[in-house]
């Protein structure tokens, strides 16, 4: 865990320093704005860390405000980094080939200032669109066939969700919307492929954010696994919290559902990073599984697919990548 946070702080600090310096340089034409830029940058870049490390000393209102600002900053930070990196590459190429119009070099400080505000505008639009997209989850239907001679089940309607990241930002309203969409599908079983939470269980309980999960209706129940954020926020407490909300959390274990199919849930591969212990191998988890029945594996990170196939897994369900979304 110490190594994880050491790397995180080093990377986070380096990225923020790079962005800050480039922004500071871009304001050379309007130096009186630099003090405001400094204040805004410090608030934005330190809000999330302040909320997470001082949560016990903050009022709920202040905690939520810092978390909102800090959460958005992560996304702004990534897009600022990409934008500035592309600008710096363009500067380097121009320095070698001199391909940009002369007027840009003649009015370099004004050019930097214009780019400063253009980048902020574009990144702002991207984040607004991303937020709207987040608040309006889309259902994707995938018809799949699994041929197993010993299976007596003809059809299974599975509702899969992942990386909901419930917190004061992704709050109870969003979760309620997701639950309503799930219930409209009338699923036989609901699966949660990790990263259900994005905050400490204590804070989620205080806000009663996860209450909508109890309203999920399905024939065989709700099953979930751990993701890296369950470990980041305290694995034992977050798992207990999920179980209190009616989620059967599978931790390196398997369950046979009504003698129809198997469901295997693996602990996230970040387990060793946070606990010092390895997760069970897939070979171990398959020891007591009848391969004549359909076997569904949940593993938060979509890796080792060939290994899953070689072990007789019929379907692996994962999350983690956010489908490319920040």
Has residue 152 been placed in a domain? no
pLDDT recorded at residue 5 = 77
Which residue range(s) make up the domain with 58?
2-134
Residues 17 and 97 in one domain: yes
Closest CA relative to residue 241, chosen from 264, 272, 207: 207
Has residue 144 been placed in a domain? no
Residues 168 and 252 in one domain: yes
More confident position, 69 or 324: 69
pLDDT recorded at residue 1 = 66
Percent of the chain exceeding pLDDT 90 equals 79
pLDDT of 231 above 90 = yes
Q: How far is CA 119 from the centre of its chain?
A: 25
Residues 199 and 245 in one domain: yes
Q: Distances from the Cα of 20 to the Cαs of 81, 119, 127, 129, 324, in angstroms?
A: 10, 14, 19, 24, 26
Residues 59 and 179 in one domain: no
The residues near 186 (Cβ < 8 Å, ≥ 6 apart) are: 157, 217
Closest CA relative to residue 295, chosen from 317, 321, 320: 317
Of 134, 168, 189, which residue sits at a domain end? 134
Has residue 29 been placed in a domain? yes
Residues 294 and 169 in one domain: yes
Residues 110 and 180 in one domain: no
Please, is 298 exposed, middle or buried when counting C-beta atoms within 10 Å of its C-beta (0-12, 13-18, 19+)?
A: buried
Contact between residue 283 and residue 252 where contact means Cβ atoms under 8 Å apart? no
Residues 85 and 230 in one domain: no
Of 134, 169, 202, which residue sits at a domain end? 134
- Between CA 281 and CA 252 the distance in angstroms is 9
pLDDT digits (tens, 9 = 90+) for 141-163: 999 998 877 788 889 999 999 99
Q: Could you tell me the two tokens for 290?
A: 């009848």
Has residue 52 been placed in a domain? yes
Q: How far is CA 81 from the centre of its chain?
A: 19
pLDDT digits (tens, 9 = 90+) for 20-32: 999 999 999 999 9
Residues 232 and 310 in one domain: yes
- Specify the 3-state DSSP secondary structure of 47: helix
Contact between residue 295 and residue 289 where contact means Cβ atoms under 8 Å apart? yes
The residues near 174 (Cβ < 8 Å, ≥ 6 apart) are: 134, 135, 137, 164, 166
- Between CA 125 and CA 249 the distance in angstroms is 38
pLDDT digits (tens, 9 = 90+) for 104-131: 777 888 989 999 999 999 999 999 999 9
Residues 242 and 183 in one domain: yes
Average pLDDT, integer, range 265-281: 93
Give the CATH number of the domain where residue 316 resides.
3.60.21.10
- Between CA 277 and CA 272 the distance in angstroms is 5
Report yes or no on whether pTM surpasses 0.85. yes
pLDDT digits (tens, 9 = 90+) for 282-308: 999 999 898 899 999 999 999 889 999
Has residue 179 been placed in a domain? yes
Has residue 185 been placed in a domain? yes
DSSP secondary structure letter of residue 166: B
Has residue 148 been placed in a domain? no
The CA dihedral of 232, 236, 242, 245, to the nearest 10 degrees, is: -140
**How many distinct structural domains can be found in the chain?**
2
Q: How far is CA 92 from the centre of its chain?
A: 34
Bridging pattern class, strands 253-257 and 261-265? antiparallel
Residues 123 and 251 in one domain: no
Closest CA relative to residue 116, chosen from 84, 140, 141: 84
Residues 99 and 184 in one domain: no
Has residue 147 been placed in a domain? no
pLDDT recorded at residue 316 = 96
Average pLDDT, integer, range 229-248: 95
The residues near 190 (Cβ < 8 Å, ≥ 6 apart) are: 158, 159, 160, 161, 182, 216, 218, 221, 222, 223
Residues 233 and 316 in one domain: yes
Mean pLDDT of the chain: 92
């Amino acid at each position: 865990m110490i190594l994880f946070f050491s790397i995180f702080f080093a990377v986070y600090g380096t990225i923020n320093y790079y962005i800050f310096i480039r922004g500071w340089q871009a304001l050379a034409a309007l130096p009186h704005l630099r003090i405001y830029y400094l204040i805004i940058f410090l608030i934005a870049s330190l809000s999330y860390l302040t909320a997470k490390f001082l949560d016990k000393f903050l009022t709920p209102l202040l905690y939520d405000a810092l978390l909102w600002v800090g959460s958005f900053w992560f996304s702004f930070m990534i897009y600022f980094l990409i934008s500035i990196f592309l600008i710096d590459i363009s500067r380097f190429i121009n320095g070698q080939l001199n391909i940009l119009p002369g007027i840009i070099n003649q009015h370099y400080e004004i050019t930097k200032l214009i780019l400063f505000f253009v980048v902020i505008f574009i990144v702002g639009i991207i984040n607004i669109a991303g937020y709207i997209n987040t608040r309006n989850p889309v259902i994707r239907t995938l018809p799949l066939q699994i041929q197993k001679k010993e299976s007596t089940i003809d059809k299974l309607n599975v509702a899969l969700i992942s990386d909901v990241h419930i917190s004061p930002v992704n709050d109870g309203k969003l979760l309620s919307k997701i639950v309503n969409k799930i219930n409209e599908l009338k699923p036989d079983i609901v699966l949660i492929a990790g990263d259900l939470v994005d905050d400490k269980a204590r804070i989620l309980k205080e806000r009663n954010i996860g209450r909508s999960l109890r309203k999920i209706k399905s024939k065989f129940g709700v099953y979930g696994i751990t993701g890296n954020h369950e470990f980041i926020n305290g694995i034992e407490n977050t798992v207990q919290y999920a179980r209190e909300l009616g989620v059967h959390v599978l931790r390196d274990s398997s369950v046979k559902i009504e003698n129809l199919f198997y469901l295997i849930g693996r602990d996230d591969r970040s387990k060793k990073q946070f606990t010092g212990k390895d997760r069970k191998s897939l070979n171990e988890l398959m020891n007591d599984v009848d391969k004549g029945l359909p076997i569904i594996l949940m593993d938060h990170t979509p890796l080792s697919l060939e290994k899953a196939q070689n072990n007789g897994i019929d379907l692996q369900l994962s999350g983690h990548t956010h489908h490319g979304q920040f």
